[in-house]
């Protein structure tokens, strides 16, 4: 089977810098598994890698969609599969880097999805969300699919609607479908790494990253996006960092409250990411403190695993 490398981990743990070093050592190219970095002009809030930081390592699925376009797991999977073929055709190794576990899983196991939808059901659910709020809809999901409700944040309206819609169309939870798909055999010779750190250090990195985003001009970035006609109903604007600043710009909270909400929501997101990764099989955990935060030692371990077939 063809080789595929996965480097994931909670947000702000340091995946980006390590991935560049790994790509240079193993002749790899990088596929981003990030649902916000795929969008153009959403740079600061997504902590998007810069051209300079890429160090001439080609990246796929970064800056490829307009913020008005939809992006979901179906689109990601097709784009990622195409990128993998392109990388392999060059004789290089594809490296998937990012923190969206389900996106990564869809590629590793070639998970199939029901593409059936029903616009009437979806529009009804969207109307309920507008009138009664996200929390109400999230509670409705809990009644029919507790597993999905635990995984999906109450603010992620599109995923909540998709899960309820799937249940209404198929008379079974989408989590059950996903579980059945997840036990498929891997279609690649995958080396799966989860980069991690001590919780208090990770949370400190998250707080400092958010402060840096504000310093770099996150508020102006969001204001510019809103001035172009975007609002929180777009997929692109539902990412952490964007939706909180929109609330501030809409006068629903102070800037300090928005910043604190970004930090809090990012910490909760990191916790959910780790819960997901702990359920994954055949994963190599890289605890940074066990390597004294020495990237060269970490890379040596990773390459040892990669070369051990």
Tell me the per-residue pLDDT of 5-14, one tens digit each, with 9 for 90 and over: 999 999 999 9
State the Cα–Cα distance between residues 110 and 123, nearest whole angstrom. 30
The pLDDT of residue 293 is above 90: yes
Query: Quick check: 65 and 93 in contact, CB under 8 A?
Result: no
Over range 159-188, report the average pLDDT: 83
For the record, the structure tokens of 239 come out as 């990412």
Query: Quick check: 59 and 29 in contact, CB under 8 A?
Result: yes
Domain segments of the chain as ranges: 3-111+184-307, 119-180
Over range 252-260, report the average pLDDT: 98
User: CA-based angle 164:170:171, to the nearest 5?
Assistant: 80
- Asked: is 119-180 a CATH 1.10.20.140 domain? The reply is yes
For the record, the structure tokens of 185 come out as 């055999």
Question: What would the CATH number be for the domain defined by 3-111+184-307?
Answer: 3.40.50.300
Helix, strand, coil share (%) of the chain residues, nearest 5: 55, 10, 30
Phi-psi region of 61 (alpha: psi -120 to 50; beta: other; left: phi over 0): left
What pLDDT, on the 0 to 100 scale, is given for residue 129? 87
The pLDDT of residue 180 is above 80: no
State the Cα–Cα distance between residues 148 and 142, nearest whole angstrom. 8
What pLDDT, on the 0 to 100 scale, is given for residue 179? 78
pLDDT per position as a tens digit, 43-86: 999 999 999 999 999 999 999 999 999 898 889 999 999 999 99
What pLDDT, on the 0 to 100 scale, is given for residue 243? 95
What pLDDT, on the 0 to 100 scale, is given for residue 168? 85
Secondary structure (3-state) at 96: strand
What pLDDT, on the 0 to 100 scale, is given for residue 278? 93
With tokens 């994963």, the residue in question is 283
Over range 100-108, report the average pLDDT: 92
- pTM, two decimal places: 0.82
Strand order in the sheet with 28-32: 59-60, 28-32, 93-97, 3-8, 189-196, 283-287
E-only strand ranges, the chain: 3-8, 28-32, 59-60, 93-97, 189-196, 283-287
The pLDDT of residue 182 is above 70: no
Residue 61 per-residue DSSP state: S
pLDDT per position as a tens digit, 184-235: 677 899 999 999 999 999 999 999 999 999 999 999 999 999 999 999 889 8
pLDDT band at 309, cuts 50/70/90?
A: confident
Burial of 46 by CB count in 10 Å (0-12 exposed, 13-18 middle, 19+ buried)? buried
Over range 153-171, report the average pLDDT: 88
Q: 50-54, 93-97, 103-107, 153-157 — which is least confidently predicted? A: 153-157
Nearest to 31 by CA among 19, 17, 13: 19
- Residue % of the chain over a pLDDT of 90: 76
């Amino acid at each position: 089977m063809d080789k595929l490398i996965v480097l994931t981990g909670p947000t702000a743990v340091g995946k980006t810098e390590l991935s560049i070093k790994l790509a240079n050592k193993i002749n790899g190219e990088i596929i981003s598994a990030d649902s916000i970095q795929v969008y153009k002009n959403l740079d600061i809030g997504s902590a998007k890698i810069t051209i300079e930081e890429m160090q001439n390592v080609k990246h796929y699925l970064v800056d490829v969609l307009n913020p008005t376009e939809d992006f979901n797991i179906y689109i990601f999977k097709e784009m990622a599969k195409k990128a993998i073929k392109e990388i392999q055709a060059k004789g290089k190794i594809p490296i998937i880097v990012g923190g969206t576990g389900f996106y990564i899983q869809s590629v590793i196991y070639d998970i199939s999805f029901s593409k059936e939808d029903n616009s009437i059901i979806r529009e009804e659910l969207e109307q309920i969300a507008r009138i009664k709020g996200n929390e109400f809809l999230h509670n409705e999901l809990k009644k029919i699919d507790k597993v999905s409700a635990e995984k999906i944040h109450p603010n992620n309206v599109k995923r909540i609607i998709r899960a309820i819609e799937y249940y209404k169309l198929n008379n079974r939870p989408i989590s059950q479908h996903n579980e059945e798909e997840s036990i498929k055999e891997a279609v690649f010779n995958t080396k799966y790494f989860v980069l991690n750190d001590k919780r208090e250090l990770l949370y400190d990195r998250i707080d400092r990253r958010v402060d840096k985003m504000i310093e770099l001009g996150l508020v102006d970035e969001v204001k510019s996006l809103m001035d172009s006609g975007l609002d929180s109903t777009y997929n692109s604007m539902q990412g952490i960092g964007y939706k909180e600043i929109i609330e501030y710009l809409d006068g629903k909270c102070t800037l300090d409250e928005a910043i604190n909400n970004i930090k809090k929501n990012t910490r909760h997101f990191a916790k959910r990411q780790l819960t997901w990764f702990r359920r994954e099989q055949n994963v190599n955990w890289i605890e940074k403190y066990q390597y004294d935060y020495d990237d060269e030692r970490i890379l040596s371990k990773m390459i040892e695993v990669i070369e051990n077939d």
